[in-house]
Structure 1
Amino acid sequence: MQQNKNAIALLLTVMFVIVISVALGYGLKSVKKSAKVIESEKFLYQNSLIVEDVLRILKESPDFKVLRDDNATTELYMFLSSSSYIPLEMGNMQILISFVSARAKFNPNQLYNNSKEIDAFKHYVQEYMVDNFYVDILLDNMKIITQENRYDGYNSAIFDKNPELFREYVASSEHLKKINNYYKVEYNNENINKIDFKNLFYYSKDRNTSIDLNYATPEVWKLLLGVDTLRAEALSSGSGSYSEIGDLGLSDEEKESLKNFKTSFYEPYLYVNIEVMSEVGNSQISFEYDIKKQKGYGFVFKI
């Protein structure tokens, strides 16, 4: 009898040890998770502070006061040439800040209700063996929905096939990728992959933006003037040296083509990109900065 009691007591002790071990295991796992959460929250907070510091420097730096002048073309070019990449270190974090003109590319949302730009863009895509159906699909994604046109007015079935797709403007490169994928499948045309959209488009719901000709990419010049790659690269290589149409050395035909688009020789907008690398993780923060208004907007965080 006594042996049975001892055996039961031993069994209970073993069971108790097992339960405690399992509980401690889950407890330690929760502690590790909590520590990771705390580190992640700390990392997010540090990212927010970095953005605030960059905005404060952009606002208070004496160098930027010069850039607020109406015609600071040379000063902006000198700044972007000397400060395109700024590497920094803060504790265990490595930070890389880069600045480029935010008006070097074409905003596709300007195409909406602009027949001259639409015609020029149709000519541009045709050079890549992409038909006008693609332009119609792109314009469908810019259509502003009202009660009157709620159920009609589209030139394609893109929203029937993709009802969750965002409407009213092309919002991002990811959005454009979905549009392009629909076109490829629907019209069995892979030529859309040949277009360098990365160096052609930037995305803003503002339909009234201008291209800064001092920073226009070769791909943008091809769109603006309908020229070949060699001519486009030559015009792009003159970055920072243009202050008037005469500086571009355009033919009469090229001048007429340029009139179809909104352009200027000084657009005081920066595209700021901040990359943060640490033991906790990596992040990328980008936004536009209005030099004259001293304001950042369109913030995108990728962690």
Structure 2
Amino acid sequence: MKKGIALLITVLFVMAITVAIGVGLRQVKEASWHMENENFMLQASTVLDDVLNILQSSKELEQLAQNKSSAELFTFLSSVSFIPLESSGLKMDIKISSARSNFNVNSLVDADNIINTDRVNILNEYLSKYKVNIGYVDILLDVMRGDENITYNRAIFDEKPYLFRDYVASEKHLNEVDDFYMKTYHNNNLKRIDFANLFYFSKNKNIAIDLNYATMEVWKMMLGCDKKKATQLASGYGGYSSLEDLSLNGEEKLALAKFQTSYFEPYLDVVIDITQNYKNAKIRFEYDIQTKKGSNFVYEI
């Protein structure tokens, strides 16, 4: 009887040790996993710092800022548009392009929350070609106008009460708007629109579109033209210095005048994709060549 009890106690003791070891190993594994993640995040931060330092110390960019030359900007962007790097198992892809190729959707309203009806009408006309209801732009305007005294047109904040409502801050923020619209109107036509090459997101509403780098989708929206004309204008990459270079008709010139445009905007859109084993990070920011400062940082890890 005593031997049976002793054996039972021994078995229970071994089981307890086994469980304890199992829990301990799991904790070690979790700690190791957290350490790996922290190390990866540290490496991503270091990569960002290195890229910023390279941009800030670039003599080519410094000269470009002094000369304010669209030709030099074109040469720079053509030579550094895509840079693949790899070091100690860490893979990096750096993409640099103009940060003024898209339309800042937040410029549908001004700093005083007054709607720019010309731009709203032009955007609605563009969206109507994809059979998107005008209610979509109303929802966008709601999200941009965070003043509590404004009566909202839509119920998006009833469904999403914590949704940021001062301006459209990012692609993910826009996705929240898109999701609400598609559920409300039972309309999935938004999926047909190339928003990645149409909208830019910045709280600074005083942003010009650099016509040397405007995308085909932006040209289609601004002028209301067909894909052929928009493709032709977008292919003029880096070759415009005046309105005459665009070969627009009178109606197209009037439409273009509704937007803030330029032929030289010294701002870079920098995207860093970092991969190590199963971990990925994407860092995107805007770099001002003249002030040597980065802004609008977006991290996806």
Q: Aligned partners of 1:13 and 1:167: how far apart in 2? A: 64
Q: Aligned partners of 2:158 and 2:2: how far apart in 1? A: 74
Report the number of matched residues.
Answer: 296
Q: Could you say which residue in structure 2 is the equivalent of 1:289?
A: 287
Q: Give the secondary-structure state (helix, strand or coil) at the position aligned to 2:144.
A: coil
Q: Could you say which residue in structure 2 is the equivalent of 1:103?
A: 100
Q: Could you say which residue in structure 2 is the equivalent of 1:164?
A: 162
The alpha carbon displacement at 1:70 in A equals 5.3
Q: Aligned partners of 1:163 and 1:177: how far apart in 2? A: 16
The alpha carbon displacement at 1:272 in A equals 0.8
- Say which of 20, 37, 42 aligns to 1:40: 37
Q: Which runs of no fewer than 5 residues in structure 2 stay unpaired? A: 110-114
Q: Deviations over 1:69-114 (max 9, x none)?
A: 3532111111111111111111111111110111100011101122
Q: Give the secondary-structure state (helix, strand or coil) at the position aligned to 1:267.
A: coil
Instruction: Tell me: CA distance 1:188–1:71, structure 2 relative to 1, closer, same or farther (3 Å).
Output: same
Higher mean alpha-carbon deviation, 52-61 vs 293-302, is at 293-302
Q: Deviations over 1:25-73 (max 9, x none)?
A: 2111111111111111111111111100000000001121122135321
Whether the 8 Å CA contact 1:40–1:280 is kept in 2: the answer is no
Q: Could you say which residue in structure 2 is the equivalent of 1:205?
A: 203
Q: Could you say which residue in structure 1 is the equivalent of 2:215?
A: 217
- Code of the aligned partner of 2:131: M
The alpha carbon displacement at 1:280 in A equals 5.4
Higher mean alpha-carbon deviation, 293-302 vs 161-170, is at 161-170
Percent pairwise identity = 47
- Code of the aligned partner of 1:103: R
Q: Which runs of no fewer than 5 residues in structure 1 stay unpaired? A: none
Q: Aligned partners of 2:277 and 2:188: how far apart in 1? A: 41
TM-score when normalising by structure 1: 0.92
The alpha carbon displacement at 1:228 in A equals 0.6
Q: Aligned partners of 1:278 and 1:122: how far apart in 2? A: 43
Higher mean alpha-carbon deviation, 137-146 vs 181-190, is at 181-190
Instruction: Tell me: CA distance 1:154–1:18, structure 2 relative to 1, closer, same or farther (3 Å).
Output: closer
- Say which of 65, 69, 73 aligns to 1:68: 65
Task: Give matches, 1:203-282, under 5 Å.
Answer: 203-279=201-277, 281-282=279-280
Instruction: Tell me: CA distance 1:70–1:227, structure 2 relative to 1, closer, same or farther (3 Å).
Output: farther
Q: Aligned partners of 1:233 and 1:185: how far apart in 2? A: 33
Task: Give matches, 1:124-203, under 5 Å.
Answer: 124-146=126-148, 149=149, 152-203=150-201
Q: Could you say which residue in structure 2 is the equivalent of 1:117?
A: 119
User: Radius of gyration: which is bigger?
Assistant: 1
- Code of the aligned partner of 1:63: E
Q: Give the secondary-structure state (helix, strand or coil) at the position aligned to 2:199.
A: coil
Instruction: Tell me: CA distance 1:6–1:130, structure 2 relative to 1, closer, same or farther (3 Å).
Output: closer
Q: Aligned partners of 2:187 and 2:278: how far apart in 1? A: 43
Q: Aligned partners of 2:126 and 2:213: how far apart in 1? A: 20
Q: Aligned partners of 1:260 and 1:211: how far apart in 2? A: 12
Q: Give the secondary-structure state (helix, strand or coil) at the position aligned to 1:125.
A: helix
Whether the 8 Å CA contact 1:196–1:219 is kept in 2: the answer is yes
Q: Could you say which residue in structure 2 is the equivalent of 1:94?
A: 91
Higher mean alpha-carbon deviation, 154-163 vs 286-295, is at 154-163
Whether the 8 Å CA contact 1:39–1:280 is kept in 2: the answer is no
Q: Aligned partners of 1:182 and 1:20: how far apart in 2? A: 53
